[in-house]
Structure 1
């Protein structure tokens, strides 16, 4: 398992919190996270949607994207399965019955 830096872990945890909200930014963050978790079922991520994110949130997306590339693994394999399942329940509830 890849070790996350404190900065990476903090960025991911902030994004997970944002994704649990109900704003347009929350939806965009959820789309980003779910594309990492399972793009085939949850949909891809249009990088242009980051243009509508606040600067701090966009910076967290960049940090987490770089970590995902470095880790070469899915978030559930890194110990974040339950947190990502919560995002699926919020934003892709139809997938919970599959």
Structure 2
């Protein structure tokens, strides 16, 4: 009598940052230039600070899963991705502050 083993698939745990309940709000610091910082508020607004210049860019953001979409005051759209406390927007990489 042959016994067939049944393969079982168990999903990998999702990192906390991928959980839609976890807010991306807070300070994000550029890995390339620590003088560049993004401040994301829980109400969907953001401000980018460069060195001593405060709020060089600002606007709003929205998030869907890992994707985060920024729209600045001139309606310029930037799309990024959040993964494991890293925020990537094009070639720019930020870490939580």
Greater relative contact order structure (CA < 8 Å, 6+ sep): 1
TM-score (norm 1): 0.26
Greater share of strand:
2
For the pair shown, the structure with the greater C-alpha radius of gyration is 2
Greater share of helix:
1
TM-score (norm 2): 0.27
